[in-house]
Amino acid sequence: MINIEKLTIAEIKKGYIDKKFTVIEIVSAYIDRIKRLDPKINAFITLCEEMALKEAAILDDKIENGEEIGQLGGIPVAIKDNICTKGIKTSCASKVLEDFIAPYDATVVKKLKDAGAIIIGKTNMDEFAMGSSTENSAFKITKNPWDLGKVPGGSSGGSAAALTAGFAPLTIGSDTGGSIRQPAAFCGNVGLKPTYGLVSRYGLIAFASSLDQIGPFTKDVRDCALSLEVLQGNDPLDATSVNDTATKDYLTDLDAGIEGLKIGVPKEFFQEGLDPEIDESIKGSIKKLKEMGATVEEFSLPITESGLSAYYIVSSAEASSNLARYDGVRYGYRAETFEGIEELIVNSRSEAFGKEAKRRIMLGTYVLSSGYYDAYYKKAMLLRKKIKNVFNEAFKRYDIILSPTSPILPFGIGEKTEDPLQMYLADIYTVNINIAGLPAISIPCGFSKSKLPIGVQLIGHHYAEKKLLQAAYNLEQSLGVYKDIPELKGVE
């Protein structure tokens, strides 16, 4: 049997070339592992066994005939359940879309398929990507593979846990305020939120349109760079997808050194509320970076708290509008009893949306209401502009900004569900990056005494993914912690 849980994308690709295994063998091994272990982890909402095996057979034939199988040929990929997949259910982990099957593929899904990747399933998440623990799923609670009593983070908790549990060498998530980076930190893997506009949003079921961005979870930075090459690119179906001229070759020179790289560390990200174990681990990363020849400097980035308020106002406002289409008229959940159109809409929405989604819809509706718009939404937009400017200024001095990904370690399941404000504070280091549309990556940088993963966040300037990945690669290699995988105690 193949030890698939340890394999990276690069290793699987090499294995296919060296004929160490076939695509069917790889896909079957992952599916077996998912079937065996996922009942305890709950990373998946839908498993695509039949379809995946069919695709695998086609690719094996291609290999047999000496044909090209693509940049991700034969690589199993699990996709967050808010990204549309033609013919496969896309539920957003919501009762609202429990049986929704999109008649089209999201652009990223099309790109993955074109590159030869094989979709093996759809992963669990917080309902409509609203949350930081994946506890807001209408269907199941995903467990952190490092400690089944802890949350995997969110909202892309299913994708993060699936990657860490060895259910796929590549999983796809979406990040609106930290929904890739925070679960990557909680589960100890690499998670990237690209620059807003680098990856098409077409087919990503919108939470907050001006903040949402799709990105990968991988075992290491090299795999991340490889998958970003496939995911990125201008899309005529997404007007916010940007056609820029920056390089899309992220693999070449990935291992070039970082001598002279200028790194800024905002001191506001190291204040009250930061777990001392995380603080210590991040300082270890800073030491490593200095050893490799980077200059690291503390500076002031006075935006953290205002950023969080701006984030919750803008994201909720957009969400209240984006989620309004789920009225039970055309598709999705429809109440069984109603009289007239108004009751149909009210009953359907009241019965199907979860607590957190309702909270954000209410909040968003409120801040957009006449008489409140200026005090909230307009002010938030001004703050947003200010935050962008503050970052632009900082990037005149630094190539990379470094911070913890999360102020807290993975917390216990149920621990914060009754206190949404506490939950919102977990996003304090990540939301500003979405507000400013910047790229940021979380990579594992250590463990707590209780063996819970800790992530460090590196932030780059717009479209500076190449430099960001180089810095992340060098740090990852020198730290070495990325190779650790959980024992899955109590599962096997």
Partner 1 sequence: MAYETVIGLEIHVELDTKSKIFCSCSTEFGAKPNENTCPICTGLPGTLPVLNEEVVNLAIKAGNALNCDMNRINKFDRKNYFYPDLPKAYQISQFDLPICENGYVDIHVDGKNRRINLTRIHLEEDAGKLIHIEDEPVTLVDYNRCGVPLIEIVSEPDMRSAEEAVEFLKNLKAILEYAEVSDCRMEQGSLRCDANISVREVGQEALNTKVEIKNMNSFREILKAIQKEEKRQVELYTFGEGHKIKQETRKWDSSKGRTIPMRSKEDAHDYRYFPEPDLMPVIIAQDTIAKIKQNLPELPSKKKERFVTSYKLSEKEIDILIGKKILADYFEAVISFGADSKEAANWIIVDVLRALKEESNEEMPIKAQYLAGLIKIIDQGKISRTVGKEVFSELITTDQSPEEIVKQKGLSQISGMDQIEKIIVEIIGKNPQAVDDFKNGKAQAVGFLMGQTMKATNGKVNPKLAKEILENKLKEM
Residue numbers at the binding site for partner 1 (CB under 8 A): 83-84, 90, 92, 97, 100, 102-104, 106, 201-206, 208-210, 236-240, 317-318, 320-321, 324-325, 327, 329-331, 341, 345, 365, 368-370, 373, 377
Q: Which is nearer to partner 1, 9 or 436 (CB)?
A: 436
Give Cβ neighbours of residue 103 (< 8 Å, ≥ 6 apart): 86
Q: Which is nearer to partner 1, 353 or 377 (CB)?
A: 377
What is the rounded CA–CA span in Å between residue 193 and residue 430?
10
Burial class (CB in 10 A: 0-12, 13-18, 19+), 340: exposed
Cβ at position 13, least distance to partner 1 in Å: 30
Cβ at position 388, least distance to partner 1 in Å: 15
Q: Which is nearer to partner 1, 256 or 324 (CB)?
A: 324
Candidates 183, 104, 191; CA nearest to 137 is 183
Is 99:143 a contact under the CB 8 Å cutoff?
no
Query: How does 95-112 read in b/e, with b if 16+ C-beta sit within 10 Å?
Result: bbbbebebeebbbbbbbb
Cβ at position 365, least distance to partner 1 in Å: 7
Is 377:148 a contact under the CB 8 Å cutoff?
no
Cβ at position 393, least distance to partner 1 in Å: 24
Site of tokens 């490593």: 288
Q: Which is nearer to partner 1, 150 or 349 (CB)?
A: 349
Give the pair of three-digit tokens for residue 470.
């180089």
Q: Give, for 24, the enclosing helix (H) or strand (E).
A: helix 23-41
Cβ at position 230, least distance to partner 1 in Å: 19
Q: Which is nearer to partner 1, 320 or 470 (CB)?
A: 320
Query: How does 166-187 read in b/e, with b if 16+ C-beta sit within 10 Å?
Result: bbbbbbbbbbbbbbbbbbbbbb
Give Cβ neighbours of residue 251 (< 8 Å, ≥ 6 apart): 222, 225, 226, 229
Q: Would you please indicate which residues are annotated as catalytic (active-site) residues?
A: 80, 155, 179
